[in-house]
Amino acid sequence: MLSFKCKCPHCHNEANHNITAIAYYKKIDDKTDSVYTLIKCCKCNEPFIAIFNLPTKERVEAQKNVETREYRRIFTREYITYPEPKQPPTHESYPDKINSLIKEIEKVGEPFAKISFIRSALEFALIDIGIKSDKDSLFDAIQKAYEKRLITAQLADWAHIVRKFGNKAIHEIEATESEAQEAYDFLKLFLKLIYEIPAVIRKYSNPASSGNKEE
Ligand SMILES: [Zn+2]
């Protein structure tokens, strides 16, 4: 089966994904053709379409024999995917370093590498909001965040689960896809709670914007 190296717009995994169907369409421009390929991600199994534009002459030549190198050249052309890749969940209220880490998390495929970046983002956020000092372990910092009512007991429990995934990933270079997904879901929720929500509250609790007296 033909495969094509590209980034899956669903899970962002860059790999050789399987081309499951190919269709040829002539564009309005009489010198250029589009080749539409239906691709199935080798990681998340979701389908997407990659569209290649190439000169009609080249397409006709390539299509004469699908076993040739000329044919495979179609897939070295510039392409767009449908759907377009999702935007990484960065946010203007997050520190730049967190946003950079999120972009890295989106890029890496290996679950242990993903979890290592997630752990770094979590640690950085805890330091940034003044919860974690140099002598605090991540365990201490999570407890402090709970004691200061920044997170609920439930979220603290979840944080400890994710912390253990992080330890395993860093020390044993071992992690599963579902651990990486869970850790990432936790991080996204955590960042919303400590950066995004306070930013919204600050916006509306600005004295200039609220004229109501306490009743
Ligand atoms: Zn995928």
Q: For the domain that residue 196 is a member of, what is the CATH number?
A: 1.20.120
If you measure from the C-alpha of residue 201 to the centroid of ligand 1, how many angstroms do you get, rounded to a whole number?
36
Question: How far is the C-alpha of 19 from the C-alpha of 49, rounded, in Å?
Answer: 9
The answer to pTM > 0.85 is no
Q: Is the peptide bond before 83 cis (omega within 30 degrees of 0)?
A: yes
Q: Is residue 91 included in any domain, yes or no? A: no
If you measure from the C-alpha of residue 7 to the centroid of ligand 1, how many angstroms do you get, rounded to a whole number?
8
For residue 123, give its domain range. Answer: 96-207
Do the Cβ atoms of 162 and 186 come closer than 8 Å?
yes
Of 111, 114, 118, which is closest to residue 186 (Cα–Cα)? Answer: 118
- What is the reported pLDDT for 212? 55
Out of 26-30, 36-40, 58-62, 196-200, pick the least confident.
Answer: 26-30
Q: Quick: pLDDT tens for 117-171.
A: 999 999 999 999 999 998 999 999 999 999 999 999 999 999 999 999 999 999 9
Q: Quick: pLDDT tens for 53-83.
A: 989 888 888 888 877 787 888 888 889 999 9
Say which residues have a Cβ less than 8 Å from residue 59's Cβ, sequence separation at least 6. 24, 33, 35, 74
Kindly state whether residues 100 and 203 are assigned to the same domain. yes
How many angstroms separate the Cα of 13 from the Cα of each of 84, 139, 174, 176? 14, 31, 18, 15
Q: Quick: pLDDT tens for 158-208.
A: 999 999 999 999 999 999 999 999 999 999 999 999 999 999 999 998 766
How many folded domains does the chain comprise? 2
If you measure from the C-alpha of residue 107 to the centroid of ligand 1, how many angstroms do you get, rounded to a whole number?
12
If you measure from the C-alpha of residue 169 to the centroid of ligand 1, how many angstroms do you get, rounded to a whole number?
22
If you measure from the C-alpha of residue 42 to the centroid of ligand 1, how many angstroms do you get, rounded to a whole number?
7
